[in-house]
Structure 1
Amino acid sequence: MLVFALGKSPVFRVDRAGIAIIGAALTVGTGVMSFDRAVQAVDYRTIVLLFSMMIITSYLNMSGFFQLAGNQFLNRLHSKSQLMLMVILITGILSAFFINDIICLILTPIVIMITRQAKLNPTPYLLGVATASNIGSAATLIGNPQNILIGSLSHINFAWYMALAIPLTLLGLGLIYVMISWMYKVELSGQLPEVRPMIGVVHGYLVKKGLVVVFLILVGFLMGFDPALVASLGAAYLLITRRIKPNKIYSGIDFNLLVIFIGLFVIIGGVEHSGLLMLLINTPWMKSIQSLWVFSILTVILSNIISNVPAVMLLKYLVPLHMGHIWWASLAVFSTFAGNLTLTGSIANLIVVELAKKEKVEINFVTYLKIGLPLTVIMASVALVYFTIVTKVFHII
């Protein structure tokens, strides 16, 4: 779990994907689980949904959609504060419907390029990308890996969760804008210099085709169809094209993340099969977790210690049958909001920082913490009150 928290081994050159492979191999190799049981432990619906959404996002990127959208917004901006607001809104909205890690991969280089062309300090805008990607992704059950996992495990209604989470997401995006604008008021004051549009190939037909498919997929989700099936059909249809080579689309797929998920399913399955998990859950301390407040705070803490996906895989066993849908929803929201606490709180944060570092833009731990810590504390506090009210309403109904 140390490697999942740090992102790599402090001794060997092993990353999260590597340790997932090693852990899964040891689980089977040491006889904790048979190979057949290990295969059964993998939730393939989650893997298919995650893989399909990656294909769709990569397709839109290759078609030039994100570049086109960026240029359209740039043409309508006049001040630096407007640019900040637009960065936060675009990141938040896109992260709600596409995997936030991939949105960060796409938008970070674009934001750096725009700020350099306009001779602006890129740091506040990149902080906006990182934090908004986490907050925005909490709005749906397809915005980030842990929410995709929760949606698959819990079978809670997509539209119901979205209606529940959107108010918190909108509040969070607004709070990000206020906090960054206050902290970087000097850098964000004044008019925006004239910026040249981003140059690149835009395939108009492919953009339209991709947006129509995304719209139909979202309609399918809202109508209650199997998300994995709907997303895979959409991804399969987008692969039928003469204009983009399949290898270019595949290059946008984060296979490391898929490997991490498969490995974690096997590892957690092994822990469960060995009886160790039930031993842990049956301890007096774990049995005492019957409060949504305690559960939510524990979610934030564990998400920062062992990363949000492993935290969800462990905490799913504490969700009660009674009012389980509320607990699942809180698990999705709090494990996502927790990603903003520290620089290492989510993979999305690390993607932004690492890409910025390659472009000679340094965002250190303290710089991020000044925004991330108060943002997470405020949003977690508001969410606790919000879910308490929601729980009481559902009890009355």
Structure 2
Amino acid sequence: MKQLGKGGNGIIWANGQDWKNVRRMSLRSLRDLGVGKSTLEEQIKEETNIILDFLSNCEDKPIKVHELMMKATTNIISIVVFSKRYDYGDPEFLQILKVLEDGFGDMVFFTPVHRFPMLRFIPFIASQMLAGRNAMMAVEQLIAKHIEKRRQVFDKEDISDLIDVYFDTCANKESSTISESNMRRIILDLFFAGSDTTVTTLDWAFLYMVLHPEVQKKCQEEIDSVVGDDRMVDWSDKSKLSYNEATLLEVQRLGNALPMSLPHTTVKDTKVKGYLIPEGTLVYANLYACHLDSRYWKEPLKFKPERFLDGSGNVSKPPVTFMPFSTGPRMCPGEPLARMELFLFFTNILQRFSVSLSGGEKPSNDGFCGMRMSTPEYTIHATRR
């Protein structure tokens, strides 16, 4: 953990006023900024069109949802922080993608080294940690180049991304805690937090669609009824697409893309049900347990979007145990962006395509638990409607 804090705590490991300053700056970028003359919704829809074109060109070919959507969601974060969209084959972009995939695949946040630091001296573990650290440092160097380029052309009258917000914050002397090295770590954290969790949720969404074609059909019928096929689904359509929204909520509940919260530490000695948790203890919230607790969810292991609908077919308020973006003051600052991405990617793909399994064997819906709850490996066919 001490190694993670070198150069700055970013947003994930920050505490106190440091965390408040970083969160405020991140929220300003995610919530308030347009990109050039485009809104974030328009940028997501542009990325969706690229995905739709790809699916059209791959009809009758097996497609791995995770690989495809990882590129799309990472590009959205790149737009937020850099005002830059990458071509999917760009070497710099592929370098960023590899670090993100390796970071989640190696359970960087849940590694036993946090609990048993001496493990880092075992040769195999040491070499893995060194390779991961070198890859992350290489991406931080790419981020540093973007920061330096923006410094040379910064215009406080034209704030278009997170780097601009950082320079504007420095110019206004709003915070002395956000150093440039910390800014690099903040951007890296946003890539980690804002790309893989969203794409993993989409991965679960399309797995459930091929496992439950009747749900897929209901989603498509609702889209056809409300939107039709002469325009894309807009964010403003969400309130009228209740079944689609309920489906995504059920995907988040049962898929559990992030089975545990990001790490927290106790700020003072605390007792919970008679157990002492000393100050400075690393703690995690078990979101997986909350989402599958039979005291709050009837038949918790069944995929039932209807559980999020009331008698009139409107989305009902989820129970307090529903927290896919965690809860409390430190819940995910990117929740509004993630919800928009999930809705627009999911509905616009189902508007144009029906998805089915490309292989003969039906995949399991048992996930693989690490930093994320990954789906079993599967491929789909996307057939134009």
Superposition TM-score tier, normalisation by shorter sequence: under 0.3
TM-score, reference length from structure 1 = 0.26
Name the structure where strand makes up a greater proportion of residues. 2
